[in-house]
C-alpha cells in the first residue's frame, strides 16, 4: 500500500506525526509513505523507516515571490512529482486550507479531519473521507487516531513510538557527557528569562557538567554567548543543519528546553528532557515521550496562549522581581533553583535506570 502524507510544518507538528507512521507500519505490513513537507524540515521524514520518498514543498518561500516561483518552474515540478505516482490514499494530517489545496494534485481518495476536528474547518471540504478526532488531547494522539480511522486499524495501546534510531543519529565520536540547553523559541512569551539560563548554566558547570548551547539566528547566538561568557565548561555550538542538530541532541545526557521544536526532537530521540511552559499548555502540545518532564507555570494567567504578555505587574511583583530581566513573570514560578532541582532528579532517575 502506498500513501501520500501531507504534513508540511512546523518542526513540532512534523515530529508529532511520526508515531502514527509507526502504528500504520505495524498494522499494515509493507505500507509505504511519501511525505510532503516544508523544505526546511525535509530531513526528518527520511529518518523513519516507513517513509519511501520525501517531497519538499516551499510554501513559505513561494508566497514571498509568487511570480518568481511560477517563472522558475518550481511549482510545476512540484505538481508533477505528486502526479507521477499512483497512491492508494492521501492523508492530510495538517487540517489547514493550504494543506488541503495540495491534495488536489494527487490521484487518489483524500482523507482528513472533519469540520469539527480540523484547525481550519473549511479544509474538510476538500476531503473524500472525513473523520472525527476529539479536541482536548495531545497532538500526537490526535494524529494517531486520524491514521487509524483512515487506514482501518485499531490505535495500539500505550505511548506512541516515533520509530527513530537514536544510536544511528548520535555522533559516534562520543566525548565528555554534556547537557543541552535549548533556549531558542518563537514567541517572546515562551522565552525563559536569559538571567535564569545564565544562573542554571553556572550551577551546572559548578557541578562538573559540560553545557552546550545551540542557536539558529543572530539573536539566539548573541544570547548563547552571553549565557556562556566566562564559563569554562559552557560552549556555544556552531550553526548546525537540522541533521547536525539531531546528532547533538541524540548525544546529550539530558536537555532543558522551552516550548520549542527542538524540544520535541529531543523527545522523539528519547533524550531525557525538562521542558518549561509559561503561556502554553503542555497537555496538548508538550514534549511527548519517555523521561519527559513538563514544568508548567501556575501563575494566575497561565497558560494564556498569547504571543504578547498582557499581564500588569502588581506592587508586590515590583518588590519581588526584576521587571527588566524576569519577563514574562509567569516564569518566575519556574526559577533556576526549582529547575536545577528537577534536572538533578531527572538525571538521578535516569542513572538508576
d(CA 242, CA 285): 21
Residue 59: band (very low, low, confident or very high) from pLDDT cuts 50, 70, 90: confident
Helical H segments across 84-234, by residue range: 97-102, 139-151, 166-169, 194-206, 218-228
- Give me 157's grid cell: 495501546
pLDDT (tens digit per residue) in 129-180? 999 999 999 999 999 999 999 999 999 999 999 999 888 888 766 678 999 9
Q: For position 352, what pLDDT does the model report?
A: 55
The answer to which of 4-18, 33-47, 57-71, 184-198 has the lowest mean pLDDT is: 57-71
Q: For position 158, what pLDDT does the model report?
A: 92
Q: For position 76, what pLDDT does the model report?
A: 87
Mean pLDDT (whole number) for 187-202: 97
d(CA 324, CA 326): 6
Alpha-carbon distance values, 21 to 151, 279, 320, 331 (Å): 11, 30, 49, 35
d(CA 302, CA 278): 6
Mean pLDDT (whole number) for 65-76: 74
Beta bridge pairs of residue 274: 256, 293
Beta bridge pairs of residue 254: 179
Residue 100: band (very low, low, confident or very high) from pLDDT cuts 50, 70, 90: very high
Q: For position 116, what pLDDT does the model report?
A: 98
d(CA 20, CA 296): 26
- State yes or no: pLDDT of 350 exceeds 90: no
Determine the longest span between alpha carbons in the chain, in angstroms: 66
Q: For position 173, what pLDDT does the model report?
A: 64
Mean pLDDT (whole number) for 32-43: 96
- Percent of the chain's residues with pLDDT above 90: 87
Mean pLDDT (whole number) for 208-217: 97
Q: For position 217, what pLDDT does the model report?
A: 96
pTM of this prediction? 0.91
Q: For position 174, what pLDDT does the model report?
A: 65
Does residue 152 come out as left (phi exceeding 0), alpha (psi in the -120 to 50 range) or beta?
left
Query: In 3-state terms, what secondary structure has residue 292?
Result: strand
- Give me 109's grid cell: 481518495
Amino acid at each position: 500500500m502506498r500513501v501520500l502524507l501531507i504534513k508540511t510544518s512546523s518542526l513540532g507538528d512534523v515530529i508529532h506525526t511520526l508515531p502514527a507512521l509507526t502504528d500504520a507500519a505495524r498494522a499494515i505490513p509493507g505500507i509505504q509513505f511519501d511525505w510532503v513537507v516544508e523544505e526546511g524540515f525535509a530531513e526528518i521524514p527520511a529518518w523513519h523507516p516507513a517513509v519511501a520518498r520525501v517531497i519538499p514543498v516551499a510554501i513559505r518561500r513561494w508566497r514571498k515571490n509568487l511570480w518568481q516561483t511560477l517563472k522558475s518552474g518550481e511549482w510545476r515540478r512540484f505538481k508533477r512529482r505528486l502526479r507521477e505516482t499512483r497512491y492508494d490514499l492521501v492523508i492530510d494530517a495538517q487540517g489547514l486550507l493550504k494543506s488541503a489545496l495540495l491534495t488536489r494534485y494527487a490521484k487518489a481518495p483524500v482523507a482528513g479531519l472533519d469540520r469539527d476536528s480540523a484547525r481550519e474547518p473549511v479544509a474538510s471540504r476538500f476531503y473524500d473521507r472525513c473523520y472525527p478526532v476529539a479536541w482536548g488531547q495531545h497532538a500526537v494522539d490526535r494524529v494517531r487516531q486520524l491514521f487509524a480511522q483512515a487506514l482501518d486499524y485499531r490505535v495500539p495501546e500505550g505511548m506512541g513510538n516515533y520509530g527513530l534510531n537514536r544510536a544511528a543519529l548520535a555522533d559516534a565520536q562520543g566525548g565528555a557527557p554534556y547537557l543541552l540547553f535549548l533556549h531558542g523559541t518563537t514567541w517572546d512569551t515562551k522565552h525563559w528569562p536569559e538571567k535564569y539560563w545564565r544562573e542554571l548554566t553556572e550551577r551546572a558547570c559548578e557541578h562538573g557538567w559540560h553545557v552546550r548551547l545551540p542557536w539558529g539566528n543572530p539573536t539566539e547566538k548573541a544570547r548563547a554567548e552571553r549565557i556562556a561568557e566566562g564559563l569554562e565548561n559552557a560552549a556555544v555550538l556552531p550553526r548546525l543543519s537540522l541533521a547536525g542538530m539531531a546528532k547533538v541532541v541524540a548525544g546529550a545526557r539530558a536537555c532543558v528546553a522551552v516550548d520549542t521544536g527542538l524540544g520535541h526532537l529531543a523527545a522523539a530521540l528519547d533524550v531525557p528532557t525538562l521542558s518549561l511552559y509559561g503561556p502554553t499548555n503542555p497537555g496538548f502540545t508538550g514534549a511527548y515521550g519517555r523521561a519527559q518532564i513538563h514544568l508548567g507555570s501556575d501563575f494566575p494567567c497561565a497558560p494564556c496562549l498569547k504571543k504578547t504578555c498582557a499581564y500588569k505587574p502588581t506592587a508586590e511583583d515590583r518588590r519581588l522581581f526584576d521587571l527588566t530581566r524576569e519577563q514574562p513573570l509567569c516564569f518566575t514560578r519556574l526559577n533556576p533553583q526549582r529547575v536545577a532541582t528537577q534536572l538533578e532528579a531527572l538525571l538521578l532517575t535516569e542513572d538508576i535506570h
